[in-house]
Amino acid sequence: MIADGTYDKIFNTYQHSKIEKLHLKDRKIFRIDNQLHGPETPFADKKLRFDPDWNSSGCDGTGKYANI
């Protein structure tokens, strides 16, 4: 689902309007290390993380974003 963009399409269908109302792209993000996460937590895979800037750029329906 992630590789073919299906997950992004479904996520945006149901969450886009909520995210826009929250103005998440304009908020400050504080990154705090969490020592309780083990090495199996896939932090390096950005496809598994929400990024307000990606969402605000708009999805073209295929899960690919115009400004990435």
pLDDT per residue over 23-56, tens digit each?
Answer: 888 888 888 888 888 888 887 788 888 877 765 4
What does residue 59 show for φ and ψ, rounded to 5 degrees?
-95, 140
Domain boundaries, the chain: 6-57
With a threshold of 0.95, does the pTM exceed it? no
pLDDT at 66: 40
pLDDT at 24: 83
Q: Band the pLDDT of 14: cuts 50, 70, 90.
A: very high
pLDDT at 65: 42
Looking at residue 60, its amino acid is: D
Say if residues 55 and 25 touch (Cβ distance below 8 Å). Answer: yes
H-state helical runs in the chain: 6-22, 52-57
pLDDT at 55: 52
